[in-house]
């Protein structure tokens, strides 16, 4: 059984000028950055390993400080826990609460996601269900990452050095290794979903918040394959792998297991960090769906920058193999020389910390 993480992403976060949907109109109270109490929650899911969240009884324990971001599904606040004075990120989903396959509210998946405990994945400390209050739906109390996202860093600094990219890639791989071991497919790895703290540590974020769907393996011969046809096109199309953007073309080859798509997305991010722009289409091309599909599914093999090291080129090419069956696995990439440059990680993390754009 695999949890497939789906979240409708607001394309404004892309570094590409993709067609944008108009953001929802926000009330003055929800968009204000002034300090004010948050609404009381009627239900809290406990079980977090964090001692600070054990005293978080309801949302009234938190004070809203600033808006960190918003999209079609909700809004993210920087909040302060009044008793401990600790900072958190509060993601409020205004749309429907988490829905199970049977269409009923299903907090089991939320409980699983909240129990994830990895230094490479943004921690979810608590989940609140506001019952029939549709304006606030489900609220997630998340670890606060004061450095913003990798997208913010690239927007300000354009490119990163190979040593810094190496550490970023290693941490993303460790996060994916953890998620995949729990049968969780992220499906939306991109710069805006890789958050950075003040120490320069990168963590995977934005999974399982909007929609969690459980997929079962087909029972052919007991083994079976994961049917990507039913996965839909969740996530951001620019970072989709060929088998995700055009699943029908891959059904004859088993359809893929979903995990390989995360590897492709990470490869695109790594190359983008080096080049300073989205790497799969030319700057003069309009990044619409048709252009992206042609480039991702039918385009020539990505040309590597001449100034990149052989290790970098090899790593990216293993990630961007169009045939998912030949693409490198996360475990293979964790052994790759590019992410095992001895003794450089602490220095690289400090360098990335110097790039950090402090939020709020």
Q: How confident is the model at residue 221 (pLDDT cuts 50, 70, 90)?
A: very low
pLDDT digits 0-9 by tens, 77-123? 999 999 999 999 998 876 554 444 444 333 545 665 677 899 999 99
For the chain, the three-class secondary structure string (H helix, E strand, C coil) is CEEEEECCCCHHHCCCCCCCCCCCCCCHHHHCCCCEECCCCCEEECCCCCCCHHHCCCHHHEEEEEEEEECCCEEEEEEEECCCCCEEEEEEECCCCCECCCCCECCHHHHHHHCCCCCCECCEEEEEECCCCCCCCEEEEEECCCCCEHHHHHHHHCCCCHHHHHHHHHHHHHHHHHHHHCCEECCCCCHHHEEECCCCCEEECCCCCCEEEEECCCCHHHCCCCCHHHCCCCCCHHHCCHHHHCHHHHHHHCCCCCHHHHHHHHHHHHHHHHHCCCCCCCCCCCCCHHHHHHHHHHCCCCCCCCCCCHHHHHHHHHHCCCCCCCCCCHHHHHCCHHHCCCCCHHHHHHHHHHHCCCCC
Interaxial angle between packed helices 162-181 and 345-355, expressed in degrees from 0 to 180 and rounded to the nearest 10:
100
Q: Which of 21-30, 37-46, 196-205, 270-279 has the lowest mean pLDDT?
A: 21-30
Higher pLDDT, 184 or 204: 204
* Dist CA 318 CA 321 (whole Å): 6
User: Which residue from 100, 106, 60 is spatially nearest to 81, judged by alpha carbons?
Assistant: 60
Distance CA 57, CA 61 (A): 7
Residues 221-247 have a mean pLDDT of 60
Pairing assessment for the beta strands 36-37 and 194-196 based on DSSP bridges: unpaired
Give the pLDDT of residue 37: 42
pLDDT at 232 over 50: no
Residues 163-184 have pLDDT tens digits of 999 999 999 999 999 988 888 8
Helix axes 259-275, 150-157, angle to 10 degrees: 20
Superfamily of domain 22-143: Phosphorylase Kinase; domain 1 (3.30.200.20)
pLDDT at 12: 34
Q: pLDDT value at position 270?
A: 98
188 among known catalytic residues: yes
- For the chain, what percent of residues have pLDDT higher than 90? 36
pLDDT over 70 (residue 211): no
Is the pLDDT score of 296 beyond 50?
yes
pLDDT of the residue at 27: 32
So where are the chain's domains? 22-143, 150-355
Confidence band (pLDDT; 50, 70, 90) for 273? Answer: very high
Catalytic residue, from 129, 152, 188, 206: name it.
188
Percent of the chain residues topping a pLDDT of 70: 62
Condensed to tens digits (0 to 9), the pLDDT of residues 121-151 reads 999 888 887 654 445 467 889 999 999 999 9
pLDDT digits (tens, 9 = 90+) for 16-63: 333 333 333 323 333 333 334 444 443 333 334 444 444 677 888 999
* The CATH classification of domain 150-355, taken from the options 1.10.510.10, 2.40.110.20, 3.50.50.60, 1.10.10.10: 1.10.510.10
Q: What is the pLDDT of residue 287?
A: 82
Q: Find all residues with CB under 8 Å of 160, minimum gap 6, and list them.
A: 153, 154, 168, 273, 274, 352, 355
Q: Average pLDDT, whole number, for the chain? A: 73
pLDDT computed for residue 127 by the predictor? 83
User: At residue 272, does pLDDT exceed 90?
Assistant: yes
Give the model's pLDDT for residue 174.
97
């Amino acid at each position: 059984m695999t949890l497939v993480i789906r979240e409708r992403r607001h394309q404004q976060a892309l570094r590409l000028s993709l067609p944008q949907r108009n953001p929802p109109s926000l009330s003055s109270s929800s968009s204000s950055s002034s300090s004010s109490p948050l609404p009381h929650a009627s239900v809290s899911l406990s079980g977090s390993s964090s001692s600070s969240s054990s005293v978080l009884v309801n949302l009234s324990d938190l004070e809203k400080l600033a808006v960190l971001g918003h999209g079609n599904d909700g809004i993210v606040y920087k909040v302060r826990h009044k008793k401990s004075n600790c900072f958190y990120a509060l993601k409020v989903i205004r749309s429907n609460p988490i829905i199970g396959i049977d269409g009923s509210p299903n907090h089991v998946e939320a409980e699983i996601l909240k129990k994830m405990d990895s230094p490479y994945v943004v921690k979810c400390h608590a989940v609140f269900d506001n019952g029939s209050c549709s304006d606030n739906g489900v609220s997630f109390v998340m670890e606060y990452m004061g450095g913003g996202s990798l997208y913010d860093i690239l927007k300000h600094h354009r490119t990163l050095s190979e040593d810094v990219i190496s550490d970023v890639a290693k941490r993303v791989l460790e996060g994916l290794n953890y998620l995949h071991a729990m049968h969780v497919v992220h499906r939306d790895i991109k710069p805006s979903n890789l958050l950075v703290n003040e120490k320069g540590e990168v963590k995977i974020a934005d999974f399982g918040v909007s929609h969690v769907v459980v997929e079962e393996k087909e029972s052919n011969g007991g083994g079976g394959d994961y049917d990507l046809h039913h996965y839909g096109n969740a996530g951001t199309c620019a970072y989709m792998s060929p088998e995700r953007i055009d699943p029908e073309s891959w059904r004859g080859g088993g359809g893929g297991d979903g995990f390989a798509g995360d590897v492709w997305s990470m490869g695109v991010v790594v190359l983008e960090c080096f080049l300073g722009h989205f790497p799969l289409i030319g700057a003069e091309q309009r990044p619409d769906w048709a252009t992206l599909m042609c480039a991702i599914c039918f385009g020539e093999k990505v040309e590597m920058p001449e100034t990149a090291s052989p290790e970098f080129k090899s790593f990216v090419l293993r990630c961007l193999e169009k045939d998912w069956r030949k693409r490198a696995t996360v475990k293979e990439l964790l052994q790759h020389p590019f992410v095992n440059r001895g003794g450089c990680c602490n220095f690289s993390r400090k360098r990335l910390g110097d790039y950090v754009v402090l939020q709020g």
